[in-house]
A and B are shown apart, each in its own frame.
Chain A
Amino acid sequence: MTSKKYSADLSAFTYRRTFRSNLILSVLIAINILMCFSGALNIIGAAADRDAARYLKATYTYFFRTSTDSPDIMPFMLSIPFIFLCAGLAVSIFRYVMGKKSSNVYFSLGISREKLFVSNYCAGLSVIMLGIIVPLAACLIANGIFFGFSGKLLFAFVYILFKVFCAGVFVFTLTALVMQLVGSVIETVVYTGVLLAAPAMVNYTLSNMIGNFIYGAPYTPSGFFENDGSGMFYVFGKNAIYSGLSMFDYPKYITPIGSDNLISFITSERKLSPNSASFYSIGEFKFPLVFALITSVLAVAAYFCAKHRKAEKAGFMGTSPFVQGLCVLAVGPFLAMLAGNIFTTSGMSFPAKRRLIILLSIVIMAVGYTVVEMIVLRSFKKYWQRFNYLIAELGIFLLCCLVVISTLPVGSMKVPAAADIESASITVCSNDYDSMNGYTGPGYFNGGARLDVDCMGKDYIKLFEGFKDKEDIERIISVNEKLNALKNTKPDNTYGGDDEFTKTILSGIRIEYHLKNGKTKVRNYRNVTLGIIREIDELTKSDTMKNMIADSLETITDDNGIAPLSSYQYNIALISPDMTRGVSPELFFDNDARENLVKALAADIREGTLPISRISASPLMGYIVMRSYAFPTYDGDVYTDDDPPFAKPQGDIELIDDEHEEMSFVFHEGASYPVYADMKNTVEYVKANGLDKYFTGGAKPVEIIYGKYSEPSEISREYFDSMIFSAINMSDRQAQLVWSEFNKDEIYYEYSDGLSAQVYYPDYSVTDEDTGIDEADRIDPEDMMPEGSTVVTDEAQIAELMSKVRLNCHLCYEGDYALIVFDNGRITYAYIPVGT
């Protein structure tokens, strides 16, 4: 009568049964993993193509990735189903604890709950491992056949297998743990999702708490979504803390994407890649091992929870106030920080904003807790009985706030002594410029409200770094102390006034001190004044700065990091000081000539005759302008990539193309260098090569209208404050407002900021947001100048003014803005600095 089917080992029976019934998930995981690492399939295809095969063998040691293109978004996308599959596996295996009926059966069996859990858990691990190892083994074999087996290949295989397995098991284990604690599948899904995101949310909360609560914190508040420019996207921002917690970034963990992803590197070792040997060390297992350790802790916790699992929880929501509270504690402050960063007005003082964020956090946590409780409990009485959990959560949060506010600020506001500093750097938020290369009165020059600066979480461009000279370090220390003094000030968004240079405005200033003891202290500030920025600006006159700019100018490369500035990728033109004529001489298509030009400019920078601010009292001869020509040719209605314009000597060039703005010389990115009479090296070069004749203007000025602005003009100030740093980033913001046809009856104007030319045709109805001028409005040049402007038509006066005008002027607000009307109908918008 006794069944032969009975298994003396109930655990083994449970394991086998669970494994068999979940094999389909193993198959799905295998498909998912194979798509993430389908490089082997590429290899198989490439093997049939001789050229492709040759390329792969010459370029790689092995190849696991999906494609040779980088970045490859597919693995990132495929990591999401991997997470769902591993979580789904846990739900499939442990769903018996969720049902009243199923728990009646399984808990009454002759196997203890803990053994039941362990057997099922091990089966789950086996399912995951099978789903991962089979496709990776297939890739290993394909690589071995194509590239040959090597120690590096085997190491990469083991490394990837281990890392992906850890990621999958983590998700599986966390889900299993949550299932032992809660009573319904919906709670499992929600709470598991929250807990998976919790590390990123907690990281965001803590770093933003520091950034928002501590004046001069090492971290800045983050936005919601940031791109660091290398192709890596960070949800919830990239902060200093974040990079240390890469183990929680599942897509990076699982898939080969991103420049700083270890898997990304190791999945396809390029023969040309530097420092590849450093990856083949045991040390690279550090993060996966820590991850595995955390997973083990969770597994043990799940074991004990399974052992003590109460069957009466099955089918009921709200049975685990602990898990629920944990999720609210993770989500609440996170949402509050996010809201605080997005919605709090920039016009608040630092302490006021801090108070507001704390209040927001309390409100959001209380509301969130109440909403969740009412959904799961559906009883106000039960909600009230568990109200102490909310009190506890709020208490924990406020305690964290107190710790952050009270313990860290002392250190963060302290300015190191100059004697302890090895070198220092100071940077400003790059938000205002598309070129990300400079600073103005940040916030001051935005088209919108003055305080509309968003410098949260932005990457800073280190404009001033490596200062070792005592005088420079002391200047930075002086700036730091003045920034500290602005802590309780309220940013002022009004323009003008006697306190223009002393009132607090918003920007982002980062100071780094590299100490002699090897440590680095970082300070971030948002409150600044134009006066402080001017003080920072003095650093541009230091030898350190000059040498840095000159060095980078001489070694500058294009985007691919291959061709130097002296290559044919850039067209160089000589432009008259009034920007009415431009010539691209054939000389500049000689590499040696280009190199010599760059050397001359660099020498003048070092000697200080070409100031970094590009302002000089010395007479202006003209401009040497460089433009990249990486854009298609316009041929009728068709754009082609053939014969990029400006790839050949142009002779006289069209600074502004009336019909095709994108063909305008000033349209594209580049840099411009004023040539002043005292720039000995450059002037010598220009004269020696007979280039000075091209500095003659192509049109005669017939009218100059000049005046001062009482309010910011989007045209006026934004375009004049550019720095020589634009030479580094190959962008320029010279402003030129031209009328291709000076016709009062036809509104037809265009202007160029050096980065974009905007052309408005008579029948083109558009309102330019930057200018605020509707092309339908018929405007006289005089109407574009502030009230009370002076109109000059006398030739002698015009000539005198023309000797003073500049097309760029950094941080110059005390001078006059000028509109120059030429006899050919062109108009140039310029500036007459004080002191010229």
Chain B
Amino acid sequence: MIEVKNVTKKFGSFAAVKDLSLTVDDGSIYGLVGYNGAGKTTLLKMIAGVYKPDEGETLINGRNTFTDAAVRLNMFYVPDEIYFEPFSSIEKMAKLYAGYYPSFSFDTLDSLCGVFELDKKARLNSFSKGMQRQAEMILGMSAHPDVLLLDESFDGLDPQKRNVMNRMLIDYVAEKNCSVIISSHNLHEVSDICDRMALINGKSIALDCSVDDIGADRCKFRLVFDRDMTASDFDGFDIRKIKVDGKMVTLSVKGDPDETERRLRAMNPVLAERFPLTIEEVFLEEMEEKEYDFKEIFG
């Protein structure tokens, strides 16, 4: 189990992560979603033992990942910026990792290289970006870690390879009952594979729930009234987003959808429709997107 307890990380006066907590159970794939610069990579690096939290701690099975190096023997971190030794091949990098990971398997390496059709003796700097990501994933999986941290690891993969990667991860987790954290800004990518997701917004967790429940506590409504309405008419609701256009109102409300619908219908709209929120809409609402008038900017 991975535990992140009230971690804060600052770079100078800038706080990349502030008082953030989450838990990842064994046998689950946890998605970490957030806008660029939200703190996903920083969080993963703290879990990986690369960064030391300024406050709080990161634990794997109760052991601190920064101070206890041994806990990292069964943890593999695939960073966003991939590193390979100069002039190295998959095979050469495998020898490096094999020395540091007790469970590293060259058999697994060979098998996975076959699946992804990568030449393990070829120079890695001759690979494309996507191929390098595949190579890094192969190396990580070959280490048979109990904890796998993937930072934007699907970036650059074609749909076919992504599909293969997804299946591989799901099967691996099921087989090993390990914990995986995937960070991405691609919601679909994460929602397809993850059990749980966390939305990081403004350095802290804005939303932490299972993928299935991500939209369960909110809903979108489109209402038409026989009179002109204003936003203040809906003050009693936990509005996430509202757009009033005369008599027509479109709003997203947090709360029990059924109860919310009942209360809205009590306002006697001429027409009331209810729609489930997509993950993108939930993401955007939570990220507090600013409305930019680009016509004004470029006009």
Residues of A in contact with B (beta carbons under 8 Å apart): 1-3, 5-8, 10, 13-14, 17, 99-105, 107-112, 115, 310-312
Q: How far is the CA of A103 from the CA of B81 in the complex (A)?
A: 11
List 11 extra interface pairs beyond A6-B98, A102-B83, A104-B77, CB under 8 A.
A1-B107, A2-B104, A5-B99, A104-B79, A104-B83, A108-B72, A110-B69, A110-B70, A110-B75, A110-B101, A311-B51
In the complex, 9 of the A-B residue pairs with CB atoms within 8 angstroms, ordered by the A residue number, are: A3-B98, A6-B104, A10-B99, A14-B99, A105-B83, A107-B49, A109-B69, A109-B72, A109-B100
Contact A2 B83 (CB under 8 A): no
Do B81 and A101 touch (CB < 8 A)?
A: yes
Which of A5, A107, A109 lies at the interface centre, i.e. has the most chain B CB atoms within 10 A of its CB? A109
Name the contact of B45 in the complex, choosing from A3, A17, A110, A311 (C-beta under 8 A): A311
- Per the bound structure, the CA–CA distance linking A105 and B49 in Å amounts to 10
B79 contacts A2, C-beta separation under 8 Å: no
Q: Which residue of B lies closest to A382 (CB)?
A: B12
**Pairs of residues from A and B, 6 with the lowest C-beta to C-beta distance, nearest first:** A110-B73, A101-B83, A5-B98, A112-B69, A3-B104, A13-B99
Asked whether B193 is an interface residue with its Cβ less than 8 Å from the other chain, the reply is: no
> Does B231 interact with chain A (Cβ within 8 Å)?
no
Contacting residues, chain B, for A3 (C-beta < 8 A)? 98, 101, 103-106
Which residues B34-88 have CB closer than 8 A to chain A? 45, 48-52, 69-77, 79, 81-83
Interchain nearest-CB distance for B191 vs A (Å): 27
Shortest C-beta distance, B107 to chain A (Å), equals 6
Candidate in A105, A111, A312 with the most chain B CB atoms within 10 angstroms: A105
User: Chain B residues near A2 (CB, 8 Å)?
Assistant: 102-105, 144
- Residues of A near B294 (CB, < 8 A) are none
Q: Which residues in A have their C-beta under 8 angstroms from that of B103?
A: 1-3, 6
**Contacting pair A108 B99 (CB below 8 A):** no
A101 to B93, CA, bound (A): 14
Q: How far is the CA of A111 from the CA of B100 in the complex (A)?
A: 8
B141 CB → nearest A CB, Å? 12
CB-CB under 8 A from B50, the residues of chain A are 103-104, 107-108, 311
Decide yes or no: A104 and B144 within 8 Å by CB, A1-B103, A6-B102 being known contacts: no
Q: Are B101 and A111 touching (Cβ within 8 A)?
A: no
Do the beta carbons of A5 and B144 come within 8 Å of each other? Answer: no
Residue from B51, B76, B98, B108 within 8 A of A312 (CB atoms): B51
Q: When A2-B105, A13-B99 are in contact, do A108 and B49 touch as well, CB less than 8 Å?
A: yes
Q: Is A312's CB under 8 angstroms from B83's CB?
A: no
Q: Determine if B292 is an interface residue (Cβ-Cβ < 8 Å).
A: no
A311-B106 Cα distance, complex, nearest whole Å = 30
B95, closest chain A residue (CB): A5
Contact with A along B97-119 (1 / 0, CB 8 A): 01111111111100000000000
Among B81, B82, B100, B106, the residue within 8 A (CB) of A110 is B100
B96 at the interface (CB under 8 A from A): yes
B11 within 8 Å of A (CB atoms): yes
Inter-chain CA distance A111–B45, complex, in Å, is 16
The answer on a CB contact under 8 Å between B101 and A6 is yes
Please state if B52 and A310 are interface contacts (CB–CB under 8 Å).
Answer: yes
Beta-carbon nearest neighbor of A10 in chain B:
B100
Q: Are A115 and B69 closer than 8 Å at their CB atoms?
A: yes
**Which of A14, A107, A108, A312 is most buried by chain B, counting CB atoms within 10 A of its CB?**
A108
Query: Which residue of B11, B49, B75, B82 has the most chain A CB atoms within 10 A of its CB atom?
Result: B49
* A100 in contact with B81 (CB, 8 Å): yes
A107 to B82, CA, bound (A): 14
> How far is the CB of B183 from the nearest CB of chain A, in Å?
13
Closest beta carbon of chain A to B79's beta carbon, Å: 4
Kindly provide the distance from the CB of A812 to the nearest chain B CB, expressed in whole angstroms.
Answer: 75
Q: Quick one: CB contact mask for B6-22 with A, threshold 8 Å, 1 for yes?
A: 00000100000000000
Q: Which residue of A lies closest to B42 (CB)?
A: A312
Chain B residues near A108 (CB, 8 Å)?
Answer: 48-50, 72, 75-77
Task: Please give, as numbers and ranges, the residues of chain B lying within 8 Å of A311 by CB-CB distance.
Answer: 45, 50-51
Question: Do residues B99 and A104 form an inter-chain contact, with CB atoms below 8 A?
Answer: no
Decide if B72 touches A110 in the complex (CB within 8 Å): yes
Of A2, A3, A17, the most chain B CB neighbours within 10 A belong to: A3
Distance in angstroms from B171 CB to nearest chain A CB is 15
Contact A6 B99 (CB under 8 A): yes
Q: Which residues of A contact B48 (CB under 8 A)?
A: 104, 107-108
Which residues does chain A contribute within 8 Å of B77, judged by CB atoms? Answer: 104-105, 108
Bound-complex Cα distance A99 to B48 (A):
17
With CB as the reference atom, state the residue of chain B lying closest to A99.
B83
- What B residues does A310 contact at CB under 8 A? 51-52
Nearest B residue to A100 via CB reads B81
Chain A minimum-CB-distance residue to B13: A385
Distance in angstroms from B12 CB to nearest chain A CB is 9
Contact of A5 with B104 in the complex, beta carbons under 8 Å: yes
CA distance A101 to B86 in the complex (A): 12
List, in ascending order, chain B residues with CB within 8 A of A17's CB. Answer: 96, 99
* Bound complex: CA A413 to CA B17 (Å): 64
Give, as a whole number of angstroms, the nearest-CB distance from B135 to chain A: 13
Closest to A107 in B: B50
A385 to chain B, nearest CB (A): 9
Q: Which residues of A contact B81 (CB under 8 A)?
A: 100-101, 104
CB contacts (< 8 Å) of B107 on chain A: these are 1
Chain B residue, CB-CB nearest to A114: B69
| Distance, CA A10 to CA B144, complexed state (A) | 18
Residues of chain A lying within 8 A (CB to CB) of residue B83: 99, 101-102, 104-105
Question: Nearest Cβ distance between residue B16 and chain A, in whole angstroms?
Answer: 9
Structural contact, A13 and B104, CB atoms closer than 8 A: no
A104-B70 Cα distance, complex, nearest whole Å = 17
Q: How far is the CB of A111 from chain B (nearest CB, A)?
A: 6
Q: Which residue of A lies closest to B47 (CB)?
A: A108
Q: Which of B45, B52, B105 contacts A1 (CB 8 A)?
A: B105
Q: In the assembled complex, which residues on chain B have CB atoms less than 8 Å from the CB atom of A101?
A: 79, 81-83
The answer to whether B99 touches A312, judged by C-beta atoms less than 8 angstroms apart, is: no
Complex alpha-carbon distance, A1 and B105, angstroms: 5
Instruction: Identify the closest chain A residue to B11 (Cβ).
Output: A312
Q: Report chain B residues within 8 Å CB of A103.
A: 50
Closest to B104 in A: A3
Q: What is the distance, in angstroms, from A489's C-beta to the closest C-beta of chain B?
A: 55
A211 to B: closest C-beta gap in Å: 44
Complex CA–CA separation, A5 to B96 (angstroms): 10
Q: Which of B49, B69, B105 has the most CB of A within 10 A?
A: B69
Docked CA distance A629–B56 (Å): 88
Closest to B105 in A: A1
Query: How close is B3's CB to chain A, nearest CB, in angstroms?
Result: 18
Cβ-closest chain A residue relative to B81: A101
Q: How far is the CA of A109 from the CA of B71 in the complex (A)?
A: 9
- Residues from chain B with Cβ under 8 Å of A102 in the complex: 83
What's the minimum C-beta distance from A440 to chain B, rounded to whole angstroms? Answer: 65
Q: Which residue of A has the minimal Cβ distance to B136?
A: A105
Assembled-state Cα–Cα distance A10/B71 (Å): 14
**Interfacial residues of chain B within 256-277, with CB under 8 A of chain A in the complex:** none
Min CB distance B113 to A, Å, is: 15
Cα A10 to Cα B95 in complex, Å, equals: 13
In whole angstroms, what is the CA distance A3 to B48 when docked?
23
Query: Which residues from B are CB-within-8-Å of A111?
Result: 69, 100
**Taking CB as reference atom, which chain B residue is nearest A103?**
B50
> Hey, which chain B residues are within 8 Å of A1, CB to CB?
103, 105, 107-108, 144
Contacts of B71 in A (CB 8 A): 110
Q: How far is the CB of B131 from chain A (nearest CB, A)?
A: 17
Q: Which residue of chain A has its CB nearest to the CB of B65?
A: A108
Residue of B nearest to A102 (CB): B83
* Residue among B50, B77, B98, B108 with most chain A CB within 10 A: B50
> Hey, which chain B residues are within 8 Å of A7, CB to CB?
99
The distance in angstroms between the C-alpha atoms of A17 and B45, with both chains bound, is 25
Given A99-B83, A104-B50, decide whether A13 and B100 contact each other with a Cβ distance below 8 A: yes
Contacts of B106 in A (CB 8 A): 3, 5
A112: nearest chain-B partner, CB-CB: B69
Name which residue of chain A comes closest to B52, CB basis: A310
Question: What's the minimum C-beta distance from A615 to chain B, rounded to whole angstroms?
Answer: 78
CA distance A110 to B83 in the complex (A): 17
B237 to chain A, nearest CB (A): 43
